[in-house]
Amino acid sequence: MKFSVNREKFLKAIQRVISTVGSRNTLPILGNVLVEAGDGAVQLTTTDLEIRITTKVEAEVAAPGATTIPAKRLLALVSNFEDAVVSLESDERHHAEIQSGTSCFKLLGIAPEDFPAPGEFTPVRSITFKGAELRRMLGQIVYAITLNDSRKVLHGMLVSLKDQLVAFVATDGKRLALSERTMESVSGGNGDCIIPLAAAAEIKRQADPKDEIVLEIGDKQARFSTPETVLTTKLIEGNYPNFRSVIPATFTKSVPFAAAALLAKIELVSQVLADTSSCIVLNFEEGRVELRGASTDIGEGSAVLPLAYTAEPVSASFNPSLLADPLRFADCDQMTFCMNDGFSPVMLDGGDGFKYVIMPMRNR
């Protein structure tokens, strides 16, 4: 195998696949990237046996072929090369000689036949997203996924498709984040699947707002395809909690607010809290909400945010981090605070298909 490629484009291609390469791989081959050259392009593939990422980059291919070489070493070399072109040639032992300008290095490879082959994948439904929309929907919910719960189904996000309504859902048992849209480009029947956090986070990182991204769902796998990259992930098996039942049917009180303004007040009052397990108290009164925090070791403080609140006074306590997350990540300038009292579930409604439900804490 022998090819030459633009250094900058090659570097971006390596960066697109590097996330699945861990520092402690049970199999040496999992620390390598599969490099395949042919038909005027080089294809790079990495996998951790749960997620598989493949991407292509244009190249001048003098001799087609394949090898696998240490991915992080390759990334480090290409990152530090200064010449505009990188040349790579592998020998019969699958070792690769990499040149750029006056620099020349050899990386010891492993036979490409040892690289894990992709599993069979048969899609049963597919959804086509605009890159900007998919990225926003993922950003609105991925922070609520937990890896600390014994329930495996909570280690990923639910993708629920029903009559062209697509819902992304995440919960850690203390709060629930929902982002749903009506999609035009949908094929296949209704159904649910659970996509692992790592795959959801990686797609959010890579999604180009200008691209169209296709999500194909099979029985045990899902595949995200962009014009340059394909990410295939195993699905989490199990039954996701009934997220619709968590959202109260009605609310007796609601008040609109600017997300950035409330976030700033939460961050300010949090300065006198001992840790993230402390609570912050919201006192809703005529025309305002008062935020109050206190710690026996630090002190106490309060801040007031004017609001168009006209209902009877309500007081509720919240974990400040859980209350701040949707204000920070949901990309909604305006939201509506919906509640019934200070003890029942509260909802922050972004008005564009985003909803965030959180339980108040008990005052301590």
Task: Return the DSSP state at 240.
Answer: P
Q: Which fold has domain 2-114?
A: DNA Polymerase III; Chain A, domain 2 (3.10.150)
Bridge partners for 302 per DSSP: 292
Among candidates 354, 357, 336, 327, which has minimal Cα distance to 284? 336
The sign of the CA dihedral 37, 39, 40, 44 is: negative
Give the Cα separation of 149 and 158 in Å (integer): 16
Say whether pLDDT at 282 is over 50: yes
Task: Return the DSSP state at 20.
Answer: G
The sign of the CA dihedral 286, 291, 247, 359 is: negative
Contact between 21 and 71 under an 8 Å Cβ cutoff? The reply is yes
Q: Tell me if the domain spanning 248-358 has CATH number 3.10.150.10.
A: yes
Bridge partners for 314 per DSSP: 284
Distance between start and end Cα atoms, the chain: 67
For the stretch 114-164, pLDDT in tens is 999 998 999 999 999 999 999 999 999 999 999 988 999 999 999 999 989
Please enumerate in sequence order all residues whose Cβ is within 8 A of that of 275, keeping only pairs 6 or more positions apart, or say none: none
For the stretch 284-341, pLDDT in tens is 999 999 999 988 788 889 999 999 999 999 999 999 999 999 999 999 999 999 999 9
Say whether pLDDT at 49 is over 90: yes
Contact between 237 and 151 under an 8 Å Cβ cutoff? The reply is no
Where are the chain's structural domains?
Answer: 2-114, 125-245, 248-358
**pLDDT score, position 24:** 74
Q: Which fold has domain 125-245?
A: DNA Polymerase III; Chain A, domain 2 (3.10.150)
For the stretch 194-217, pLDDT in tens is 999 999 999 999 999 999 999 999
Please enumerate in sequence order all residues whose Cβ is within 8 A of that of 203, keeping only pairs 6 or more positions apart, or say none: 134, 138, 213, 224, 231
Topology alike, domains 125-245 and 248-358: yes
Distances (CA, A) of 60 to 104, 163, 238: 19, 46, 46
Give the Cα separation of 239 and 194 in Å (integer): 9
Give the Cα separation of 221 and 354 in Å (integer): 26
Helix (H) or strand (E) holding 43: strand 41-47
Distances (CA, A) of 258 to 200, 292, 340, 349: 28, 19, 20, 12
**pLDDT score, position 71:** 97
**pLDDT score, position 364:** 46
Say whether pLDDT at 23 is over 80: no
Alpha helices in the chain (DSSP H): 7-17, 71-80, 131-139, 197-206, 259-269, 320-329
For the stretch 226-242, pLDDT in tens is 999 999 999 999 999 99
Helix (H, G, I), strand (E, B) or coil at 282: strand
Q: What is the pTM of this model?
A: 0.91
Helix (H, G, I), strand (E, B) or coil at 36: strand
- Cα of 216 vs its chain's centroid, Å: 17
Contact between 126 and 186 under an 8 Å Cβ cutoff? The reply is yes
For the stretch 57-89, pLDDT in tens is 999 999 999 999 999 999 999 999 999 999 999
Task: List, edge to edge, every strand of the sheet that includes 65-70.
Answer: 65-70, 32-38, 41-47, 51-58, 229-234, 221-225, 212-217, 125-130, 186-188
Question: Which phi and psi (to 5°) does residue 28 adopt?
Answer: -55, -35
Mean residue pLDDT across the chain: 95
**pLDDT score, position 276:** 63
Give the Cα separation of 358 and 342 in Å (integer): 11
For the stretch 247-258, pLDDT in tens is 999 999 999 999
